[in-house]
Structure formats: C-alpha cells, structure tokens
Structure 1
Amino acid sequence: MRSVRIGFAVTAAVGAVLITASSAGAATPSPSAPASGALGPAAEQQMNSEIAASKPVIATYKGKQINLAQGWQGAQVCAEVPSGEVKCFDSQAEADSSLVKENAAVAKKANETRKALGQQAGQAPASTSSSWDCASGWVCLWEHSDYSGRRLQWSAGGTKNLSNWSFRDQASSICVNRPQFGGTLIDFRDFQPDPSMSIPAGSCYDLTTLGYVHGGTWNDKADALSM
C-alpha cells in the first residue's frame, strides 16, 4: 500500500486514463468477467494532482453532519445520492425508507439505459440474491465477503477515494448494479504501478475470490473505486 496517499476530489476524469484490460469509463459494453491491470504514468500523475485538491466527505447522519474520514459513528449504510449529498443510515431498511425518491430516479435512469441497450429492464446482477440489497442503478461496496456489514453506494460516476469514506483496505464485496460502465478498484502502491481490477457492469463479486497481482486476493486491498 502507498503510505502517503491522502484524499482526492471526486471526479470522473481519472476513469478516462485508467490503463486496464477493461476501462471503467469506456464507451463500449463491459466484458463478462473481471479484468486486472494497472494505472499508467499519466493516470498516476493525474491522481496525485487530485490528492492535492482533496476535500473531506461530509455526510448527514441522524440530523447531524459527520466527516466520514473520521468514522461512521454507528451508521451502517452511507449513500452518495444523485444531488451529490451523502446520507448515512442505521440499517438497510432505514436507507430504503429514506431514499424512495432517489432509488426511483436512479432505477428509472438505469432502465432507460437498459432499454436503449436492448437489455431486460431491471435484470438481476450476476451474483447471489443478497446483492439485490444494491438497488438498480447503484454501485455498492460491502465490508464483508457475503455482501454484509457496512455498505457504501454511489449512483454518479467519478473516482471515490475510499480513505475519505473510512473504507480504505476494508472492501470485501462489490456490486455494479447498472447496465453500462463497470467499476475499477485501485490499490495504491509505492515505487510500482498501482494494481487495478475492473468489475463489469451488471455483476457482483466476493473480492476474496479475485486474485491479486502480487499474490492473495483483492479482499481488503482497494484504496479507490473509479466508476
């Protein structure tokens, strides 16, 4: 892991310069299996510039503002909604109840994209039924390998520095429940290219099953997610 990395601004630009076997920001459909790769020099240079422009992730939880980099204070689900706000909840049930309008808007957009691509509306991700906790149109990360524990979710593209979300080296499951554009996990490394793993759109994975280039698996390895 890279020892001196700090947060960087959320932006879609990094996804455009990721050098992987399957770019998360590509205009073509994602492949049917994860693809490993690495950031190139240009991507690393751009990411370093974004580090300098880092801003904390401030979320609303129980009516108060909290800095997620300093901990979740008991929250179990945190979501970056389409407006750009970040909202945290005590449970999946509370999140579903509070995000009715947001979930409907994200699902509608996803289904419009599916229709344009000739896909079945609302088709399930290629994974276990528990991945359905990640609603249509969202990208989700879980703390545990069985799609449980604390969960982060986003609907808008960009590069998410997991350190800013108190999730660095803590992701064990991922679900990209959208019809187009996958997500790329990145591990910051010192003195060598940053390993990456591209997860196809419409799929979910237990990260303990995905091999890591330096040995072992992607469990608790991700420092950032580009989507």
Structure 2
Amino acid sequence: MFRSSRIVLALGLATALATSTTTAHAETVPEAVQEGQAGGGAVGALALHEGELIDLAEDWGEAEVCIQQDEDAAVEFRCYDDDVSAAAGEGVGTADLRDCLVGTLCLWENTHFTGKRVQFQRAGTYNMADYHGGFRDKISSFHNDRNAGMTLVDFRSGIIADRKIDYLGKTVVANLGSVAYPDGGSWDNKTDRVIVK
C-alpha cells in the first residue's frame, strides 16, 4: 500500500508539474515528467535534478546535495551536483558548513560535513531509506541549524526497543563516531529515521 501511494503521489506530482512550463528556479519541466514517467514507480522522496524527476530512494545520479523545498513547491526536493551549484541555485553563501541554511537540518554521509547531503527545512518524521539510494545507516555528521530539536532513531528488531538520541536545536556534530551508542560502539552509520521537531 505504501508503494502504491508513492506511485500515485509521483503521478499526481507529474500532473501538477505538467500544468506549468517552469519550476521555481526557471528550469523547463522535462517531457518525461509531463508524461508521468517518474523513474518507473517512485517509492522514495521525489526531487528535481537538472530537469529530471528522480526518486531519491533509488539513485541520486550525479547529485551530491538535495535540499527540501517549501511546502507549496511542485517537488519536495531540488538536487544539485555539488555544494557550489547548491549555493548558487538556492541563493546562499560559500560551499562549506555554512551552506546549511538558518532554520534547516543538514545530514551528511561522511564525517566533517562531507559527501552527499540531504537538507530538511520542515518539521516531520523522515525515514532515511527514502533518501540517497537509501540514506539509512549512512549518516556520519549533521548540522541542526533549527531552533527546535531533533531525534535520531535506530530501528531494532524483535523485543529490543528502538534506540533514540535527542539533540537540541542549533547543534553541530562533525563525527557521529564520537557519540556513544547505548549497546556499545557509536552512532556512526546507525540512523534509520530522523524526527525533525
């Protein structure tokens, strides 16, 4: 049922995009999107990258940075090839940690804010399997520049309760490998869900 609702969402999104000839960033809506061909049945979060609709759970292609858009945007995310392109496309500063905009949460696949990045600006519960070909168990650093807090969740199986760690707003962690995990080890590459408050 979840998969079919995502397909309906993808088709609805493609229909909404087809009614407009440009996106918020003056890109032409691709013909494949107009025809409702969103990657053969999308199941993850949908994004626009270089004029193509992509399913972030499947493959980011050449994209390195995906930034959540306003609630009224035609697509949930807009993706870019690198930090410099993201900075130019979103109208923000230089390509470094400061590109995590005020009021957003940025998650990186590598320590010290490197590698692929997904950026959230709205409160919500986000399953990491829906991002970055499955961003699940791949988060190594983050910058929460929101005033509100956040929670990282590691799914456990059987009778063992899920593990959670809460952070306040305005928190920066350069290496989740330095954050102790309840069962030993660290929180590096253990996050399955992020709750943005």
| TM, length-normalised to structure 1 | 0.61
Alignment correspondent of 1:157: 123
Deviation at 1:55, TM superposition (A): 5.2
Alignment correspondent of 1:94: 85
Alignment correspondent of 2:182: 213
C-alpha RMSD over aligned residues: 2.2
Q: 1:134·1:177 contact (CA, 8 Å) conserved in 2?
A: yes
SS at structure 1 position matched to 2:130: helix
Matched residue pairs, number? 149
Structure 1 distance, partners of 2:149, 2:178, is 18
Question: Structure 1 unaligned runs (5+)?
Answer: 1-5, 10-53, 105-129
Match runs of 1:129-140 below 5 Å? 131-140=97-106
Structure 2 distance, partners of 1:152, 1:91, is 12
Pair 1:201-2:169 in alignment: yes
Structure 1 distance, partners of 2:155, 2:56, is 20
Match runs of 1:115-126 below 5 Å? none
Alignment correspondent of 1:75: 63
Which has the larger helix fraction? 1
Instruction: Work out which of the residue numbers 142, 145, 159 in structure 2 matches 1:177.
Output: 145
Alignment correspondent of 1:167: 135
Structure 1 distance, partners of 2:98, 2:180, is 24
Which has the larger strand fraction? 2
Question: Structure 2 unaligned runs (5+)?
Answer: 6-41
Deviation at 1:196, TM superposition (A): 0.7
Answer 1 or 2: higher relative contact order, Cα 8 Å, separation at least 6: 1
Alignment correspondent of 2:44: 56
Structure 2 distance, partners of 1:95, 1:133, is 8
SS at structure 2 position matched to 1:214: coil
Taking only the aligned residue pairs, the percentage that are identical comes to 31
Q: Deviations over 1:178-219 (max 9, x none)?
A: 2x2111000011021100111210111121111111110000
What amino acid is the match of 1:214?
D
SS at structure 2 position matched to 1:69: coil
| TM, length-normalised to structure 2 | 0.70
What amino acid is the match of 2:161?
P
SS at structure 1 position matched to 2:62: coil
Structure 1 distance, partners of 2:56, 2:43, is 11
Structure 2 distance, partners of 1:201, 1:140, is 12
Q: Deviations over 1:77-115 (max 9, x none)?
A: 001112352111001111111112xx69xxxxxxxxxxx
Structure 1 distance, partners of 2:103, 2:115, is 21
SS at structure 2 position matched to 1:197: strand
What amino acid is the match of 2:162?
D
Deviation at 1:133, TM superposition (A): 2.8
Q: Do the aligned partners of residues 99 and 133 (structure 1) sit closer, same or farther apart at CA in structure 2, a change above 3 Å counting?
A: closer
Alignment correspondent of 1:223: 192
